[in-house]
């Protein structure tokens, strides 16, 4: 992605507003002040780009967009102009990696919040790993497609143990998982009793989705072998969320059914239309959901004030999986595996302790689910 050097002129107004917007998340006024500042920054950004489109390529405007999007309140239209042209990307020698990683992370979090496809994938990023000169694509391909299980220890360079490396690889895995769910998941039949394999048509959506998700799961096995034991709790929560997302095909359908960003008075009416389909919440998905909560709770126990941008959505989705295992799977079996709806209280309390503006709405949704029949 070609980026000009930073300007030596006075700081641009959108960047000032973006900094204020991001900083306001941690103020006493919280979401209201962040919302007002974001709308002011977004309006100013649009006017400036409309007057002079060349500003869309300036480093200050890119950073301003990233910082504003980090409040989880921005829309994808503000970042479309920054998607690189594929025919020229491989020829670039100088790359500003950190802004690209931040932009990509914000894009992925937005995709998880809204349920829409991400704006660009891991195949469109040409960069180096944060702690070394290793090419990102080379390391990621070795992680996902490299060695067998008995060669896990030798698949990645031994010195690659930094949090930045770990998070970047998890971002690539969840990015591919989202793409698979958007592209192939919609083609997979939901009718109970379907045949999962067809020897005469080896590349059916079912078999291709299963094969690719198995590759991503093996990549997570290798990630765990490389990074477990040296990562902070918030990174491990992200890791277990990747496991959860891959193991739970119905996860993208849960936020709309719960009423998140889709206000409907009667929760039951939202999922009656899916009565013909069967929600399948595997035991492994339930275990991963509790692991996400356990690691997220470690942050609050240590008194850490900063909160990773991915923690709200991963904790919220984990809580929805527990809710689905109780209410949508139903029966004694669902209650035995996950307990009662009071189990959602732990997820609600954790979200209320996070400083991001979106957490209040997520906690309110979980409270409504606990009180619903």
Q: Is residue 3 part of a domain?
A: no
Q: CB within 8 A of 227, min separation 6: which ones?
A: 161, 165, 166, 235, 239
Domain count, the chain: 1
Residues 6+ apart with CB under 8 A from 359: 312, 351, 352
d(CA 158, CA 135): 15
User: If you write DSSP's letter for every residue of 266-305 in order, what string do you get?
Assistant: -HHHHHHTTTTS-----HHHHHHHHHHHHHHHHHHHTT--
pLDDT at 312: 94
Q: Has residue 31 been placed in a domain?
A: no
Residue with the larger pLDDT of the pair 18 and 176: 176
Nearest to 351 by CA among 323, 311, 320, 324: 311
**Residue 128 DSSP symbol:** B
pLDDT at residue 89, as a whole number = 43
pLDDT at 9 over 90: no
Question: Is the residue at 309 inside a domain?
Answer: yes
> pLDDT at position 22, please?
57
344, 12 contact by CB (below 8 A): no
The overall average pLDDT reported for the chain is 74
Cα 274 to Cα 279: distance, rounded to the nearest angstrom = 9
pLDDT score at 327: 85
**pLDDT of amino acid 199:** 61
Percent of the chain with pLDDT over 90: 25
Q: Quick one: which of 221, 234, 219 has its CA closest to 177?
A: 219
Domain contains 331: yes
Residue 77's Cβ-count burial label (10 Å; 0-12, 13-18, 19+) is exposed
The answer to whether residue 315 is domain-embedded is yes
Average confidence (pLDDT) over 360-367: 93
Which one-letter DSSP state was computed for residue 117?
Answer: P
Residue 273: which pLDDT band, with cuts at 50, 70 and 90?
Answer: very low
* pLDDT value of position 339: 64
59 or 344, which is more confident: 344
Residue 283 counted as domain residue: yes
Give pLDDT tens digits for 290-305.
Answer: 999 999 999 877 777 7
- Note the pLDDT of residue 11: 53
What is the torsional sign of CA 127, 130, 131, 136?
A: negative
| pLDDT at residue 121 in the model | 81
Q: What is the pTM of this model?
A: 0.73
Average pLDDT over residues 40-68: 69
In a domain, 159, yes or no: no
10 Å Cβ neighbour count for 28?
Answer: 6
Per-residue confidence at 373, pLDDT binned at 50, 70, 90?
low
Give the pLDDT of residue 8.
Answer: 47
Supply the range of the domain harboring residue 304: 236-373
Return the pLDDT at 24.
57
Residue 92 in this model has a pLDDT that exceeds 90: no
Structure confidence at residue 322 (pLDDT): 94
**pLDDT reading at 319 higher than 70:** yes
Residue 373, classified by CB atoms within 10 Å of its CB into exposed (0-12), middle (13-18) or buried (19+), is: exposed
- Residue pair 317/241 in contact (Cβ under 8 Å)? The answer is yes
For position 362, what pLDDT does the model report? 93
Of residues 105 and 270, more confidence is placed in 105
Residue 120, pLDDT score = 77
Residue 259 belongs to a domain? yes
Going by pLDDT thresholds of 50, 70 and 90, the confidence category of residue 131 is confident
């Amino acid at each position: 992605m070609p980026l000009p050097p930073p300007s030596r002129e006075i700081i641009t107004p959108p960047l000032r507003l973006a900094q204020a917007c991001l900083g306001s998340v941690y103020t006493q006024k919280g979401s209201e002040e962040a919302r007002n500042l974001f709308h002011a920054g977004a309006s100013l950004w649009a006017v400036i780009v409309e007057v002079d489109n060349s500003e869309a390529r300036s480093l200050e405007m890119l950073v301003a967009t990233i910082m504003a999007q980090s409040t989880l309140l921005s829309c994808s239209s503000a970042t479309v102009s920054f998607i690189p042209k594929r025919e020229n990307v491989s020829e670039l020698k100088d790359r500003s990696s950190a802004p690209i990683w931040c932009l990509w992370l914000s894009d992925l979090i937005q995709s998880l919040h809204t349920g829409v496809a991400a704006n660009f994938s891991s195949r469109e990023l040409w960069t180096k790993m944060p702690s070394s000169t290793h090419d990102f694509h080379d390391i990621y391909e070795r992680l996902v497609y490299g060695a067998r299980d008995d060669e896990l220890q030798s698949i990645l360079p031994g010195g690659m143990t930094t949090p930045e490396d770990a998070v970047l690889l998890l971002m690539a895995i969840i990015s591919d998982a989202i793409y698979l769910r958007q592209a192939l998941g919609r083609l997979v039949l939901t009718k109970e009793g379907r045949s999962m394999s067809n020897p005469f048509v080896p590349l059916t959506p079912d078999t291709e989705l299963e094969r690719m998700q198995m590759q991503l799961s093996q990549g997570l096995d290798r990630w765990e072998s490389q990074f477990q034991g040296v990562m902070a709790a918030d990174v491990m929560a992200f890791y277990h969320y990747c496991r959860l997302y891959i193991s739970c095909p119905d996860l993208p359908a849960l936020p709309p059914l719960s009423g998140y960003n889709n206000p409907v008075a009667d929760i039951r009416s939202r999922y009656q239309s899916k009565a013909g389909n069967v929600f399948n919440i595997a035991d492994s998905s339930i275990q991963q959901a509790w692991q996400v909560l356990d690691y997220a709770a470690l942050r609050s126990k240590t008194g850490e004030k900063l909160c990773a941008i991915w923690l709200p959505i991963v904790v919220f989705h984990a809580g929805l999986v527990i809710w689905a295992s109780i209410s949508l799977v139903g029966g004694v079996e669902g209650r035995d595996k996950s307990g009662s709806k009071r189990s959602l209280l732990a997820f609600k309390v954790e979200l209320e302790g996070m400083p991001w503006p979106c957490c209040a709405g997520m906690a309110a949704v979980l409270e409504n689910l606990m009180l619903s029949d």
